[in-house]
Amino acid sequence: MVLMLLTALLAVGQLQFSVDQLVSFLKSSIRLKHPDAQVAAYLKKVKLSEQLPPGRIEELLASGMGPKTYDRLQVMVAATASLPPPKPTSAPVETPLAQLIPPPTAAEQRKLVEELREYALNYDKTLPDFLCTQVTRRFYDPSGLEYWVNADTITAKLSYFQRKEEKKVLFVNNQYRDIDWEKLGGASSTGEFGDMLREIFEKDTQAGFQWERWGTLRKKRTHVIRYQVSQLNSKWAIVYEKSMTVRPAYTGLIYADASNGMIMRVTLEALDLPSSFPIQVAKNQLDYDYTDISGNTFLLPLRAEVRMREGKLLIRNDIEFRNYRKFGADTSITFDTPEPLDSELVNETPEKSISKDGTIVRDIPKESGTKPKKP
């Protein structure tokens, strides 16, 4: 049905679109997985009534736009440069959350950071012994334009017992492989079960913290806090081919659940990497979510993303932690390769307006269910 619809559109003569109509069509095509070549061919029949700003294209790249579509849109950008700019959208503009809910006071912010420090330093002490499936999808792009190619998909059994984790590779590209995790090669990450948080918040790291804004992540209101660690105190090691190691200065964001102070996301971005070091960009993002294990709720790693750049070569690892089970229940867990997580679980929700009294945030439900264990 999808292919028949797009084929029918290709048969139509030249159509006139506004920029908003074009973007709506492209988003729909991406969602319905229309073939890249056919979308690009259809765009040749589209005439725009206004200027196409380059920024409107770039915002669609991360959603899965194909290279032929991208190239055709670049032609449209040049062809419409002399046309009038797009008209402002008629949709009502919502007041940003940050303008409707005042930020915490300076004293409240300091207290929040200390509470987050206590949480981070004790996080791994609260974790149960468990098993889960770790799926690592590794991508690369030699062009540097984020045209990602899937290098491989690694499915591993992760055991967490007495605060130590152990990984055993089970499948590579859905084919059984008996190989040690350390021998896989390529980019990898560690520290998801406490080390990453602890190294940011330890006193001798001397990280600086600043409350930045309100956010919404997985339908929960969050504090978003910026932090920065100097190179002198950095414990983040970036290793290149097991032969070169640097510990860079870095910055990032901490997303903390505003209802209970538990950390939902942490990001890291390396600063001022040495020009002699092959890796020039390094970023990590780790998301946590509430997970039930044997009737108790814990905040456990949900997904991590590692990005690096070496010259033009881009590298990306998407790592998911699925099917958590109590340690020892090995017979009840299936170690297959699940489909990627829904984007709603990963992406931050754009700021929404709140009710007229300034107290209720839309799309953020009240807390319900079992409360997670807190350090």
Q: Which domains, and CATH codes, for the chain?
A: 2-79 (no CATH), 97-349 (2.50.20)
324, containing H or E segment: strand 313-326
Q: Kindly give the parts of the chain with pLDDT less than 70.
A: 1-14, 59, 61-63, 88-100, 185-194, 329-335, 344, 350-375
Question: Residue 244 — φ and ψ, nearest 5°?
Answer: -135, 140
Residues 336, 175 contacting (CB under 8 angstroms): no
What contacts 261, CB < 8 A, 6 or more positions away? 112, 115, 116, 119, 374
SS3 of the chain: helix, strand, coil, percent, to 5:
25, 35, 40
Pairwise CA distance, residues 117 & 127, whole Å: 17
134, containing H or E segment: strand 130-141
317-320: list long-range contacts, CB under 8 Å, 24+ apart: 317/136, 317/137, 317/138, 317/139, 317/187, 317/188, 317/189, 318/136, 318/137, 318/139, 319/134, 319/135, 319/136, 319/137, 319/189, 319/192, 320/134, 320/135
Q: What is the pLDDT of residue 137?
A: 93
Start-to-end Cα distance in the chain: 52
66-72: list long-range contacts, CB under 8 Å, 24+ apart: 66/35, 66/36, 66/37, 66/39, 66/40, 67/36, 67/145, 67/147, 68/36, 68/37, 68/39, 68/40, 69/26, 69/29, 69/36, 69/39, 69/40, 69/43, 71/40, 72/40, 72/43, 72/44
Neighbours of 203 (CB within 10 A): 8
Structure tokens at 198: 């602890």
The answer to whether the Cα torsion of 32, 37, 38, 39 is positive or negative is positive
Pairwise CA distance, residues 210 & 297, whole Å: 30
Q: What is the pLDDT of residue 195?
A: 83
What contacts 243, CB < 8 A, 6 or more positions away? none
pTM for the predicted model, two decimal places: 0.67
Residues 361, 368 contacting (CB under 8 angstroms): no
Q: What is the pLDDT of residue 348?
A: 76
- Classify strands 149-161 and 164-172 as parallel, antiparallel or unpaired: antiparallel
Residues 70, 57 contacting (CB under 8 angstroms): yes
Pairwise CA distance, residues 174 & 187, whole Å: 20
Structure tokens at 130: 């468990």
Residue (of 239, 286, 346) closest to 120 by Cα position: 286
Q: What is the pLDDT of residue 372?
A: 52
